[in-house]
Every structure is written in structure tokens, then in C-alpha cells.
Chain A
Amino acid sequence: NAGVMQNPRHLVRRRGQEARLRCSPMKGHSHVYWYRQLPEEGLKFMVYLQKENIIDESGMPKERFSAEFPKEGPSILRIQQVVRGDSAAYFCASSPAHHQETQYFGPGTRLLVL
């Protein structure tokens, strides 16, 4: 059973470009969470999604950031018009529907904005 997969592992963008980060949850998991880790800091919750629904987006910046988890395919975290402050590691986690408290983390995508 493959773990949580994220791609790309590293992403370089210039200011103003768009960044798309993908997360494939573990097989059988229907809950996905996105976290951001800035240098020298812990993980900060961004958004919690179930298939086709955003459950909690209280940690998402109000502008430029969006997330989706379609019926088919991976979850996508999209950052429009990136700025240098968006440079961070973005981690995805997934959990099964009946054990939401136990999250399994992917390896992360490290975004660098030049």
C-alpha cells in the first residue's frame, strides 16, 4: 500500500507565476489536509478537504490560494501569482474516514520562489 504521494518534490517559480502542488492520498483515504512549513517553524494548518468538498479552510490565505479534491484524481493546492514569501515546504496528509485523528504525511513539496 503506497503512502501519501506528493509531486513535484521540488518546484521553482518566478514571482507572478502559478504553482500547482499535487497530493495523492493513501488508498482508501477520503480526507486530505494541507499544511505549510516555513523555515525554522512548525507546520501550520491550511485546509481540510473531503472528496469534492472543502471542510475547513480557516488556515488558507484569503487571496491567491485555493485547494480542491475532485472525485477523481489527486488533491491540488494552487497558488496564483506567487511571491517570495510563499517559499516553503507544503505537506499533504491523509486519513481514513473513520479515523480522522490519525494522519499520514507525504514527503512534501518544497517551493522556491525566485
Chain B
Amino acid sequence: AQSVTQPDIHITVSEGASLELRCNYSYGATPYLFWYVQSPGQGLQLLLKYFSGDTLVQGIKGFEAEFKRSQSSFNLRKPSVHWSDAAEYFCAVGARTNAGKSTFGDGTTLTVKP
């Protein structure tokens, strides 16, 4: 069975500082990997996704993520955080044999200090 772990429940960074949100997954083969962002009371917006090829994936809003097979990780990064990035971030894994059924981590809440 596939699973996702986001080790950090809550992260606080200063505006302009760099950000890295951790995501570890468990899956028997190479999965589909996703990062979503959720603002309070809103739905999920897809930031980026990895299917195959280049392991460094660029997304919207200046985010990127790197797939590391040896570490079963797909960490999300941003070089300079903006106050509007404060939100909850979810990592998700989708099975290639059943791509419609995504498994989500419990999320990381990002607070941005002025």
C-alpha cells in the first residue's frame, strides 16, 4: 500500500527566507508525486507534479521539488518566501496502476513572519 509522511506539522519562516517542506513516500515502484497548496477554507491547488524524466520539477509560484528515489523523498522548496505563501501544503502520491486514487500526507502548515 502507498503512504505519505510529512514530518513537519508546522513550519515558520521569515519573509524572504528559503523554504523546504519534507515529504517521504512509500510505494513499491515509481509513483506519481504531487504537491498541493490549500488556503484556509479553500480547495486544493496543484503546485507541481512528477511523473518521469527530470527529477527536479518546476511548479507555479516559484516552487520546485526534487524527486530522490534513493531517499523516497519529494521535498518542496522555494528560494524566497512571500507572505502570501502562508497556507497548508500537502504532498500526495498516486499509483501508476490506479492513478486516480491519490494518497495524501497530513499536511504542513506554513506561517510566514514579516
Which A residues lie at the B interface, using CB under 8 A?
A: 4, 31, 33, 35, 40-45, 48, 55-56, 58-59, 91, 95, 100-108, 110
Q: Are B104 and A48 in contact (CB under 8 A)?
A: no
Stretch at the interface among B56-64, B69-77, B79-87, B93-101: B93-101
Cα(A104)–Cα(B45), bound, Å: 8
Q: Is the CB of B43 within 8 A of A56?
A: no
Of A31, A43, A101, the contact of B90 (CB 8 Å cutoff)? A43
In the complex, the answer to whether B44 meets A56 with C-beta atoms within 8 Å is no
Scan B97-110; emit 1 where CB is below 8 A from any A CB, else 0.
01111111111000
B27 within 8 A of A: no
**Which of these, A42, A95, A102, contacts B49 with CB under 8 Å?**
A102
In the complex, what distance in Å separates the CA atom of A38 from the CA atom of B24? 21
Taken together as a complex, chains A and B put the C-alpha atoms of A103 and B92 apart, in Å, by 11
28 contacts across the A-B interface (CB closer than 8 A):
A33-B100, A33-B101, A35-B104, A40-B106, A41-B106, A42-B6, A42-B90, A42-B105, A43-B90, A43-B102, A44-B104, A45-B101, A45-B102, A45-B103, A48-B101, A58-B101, A91-B43, A101-B32, A101-B96, A101-B100, A102-B46, A102-B49, A103-B46, A105-B36, A105-B46, A107-B43, A108-B43, A110-B41
What residues of A have a CB within 8 angstroms of the CB of B102 in the complex? 33, 43, 45, 103
Q: Would you give the shortest CB distance from B58 to chain A, in whole angstroms?
A: 16
Contact pattern, B 1-36, Cβ under 8 Å of A = 1, otherwise 0: 000101000000000000000000000000010001
The docked-state distance in angstroms from the alpha carbon of A59 to that of B102 is 11
For the complex, what is the distance from the CA of A53 to the CA of B100, rounded to whole Å?
14
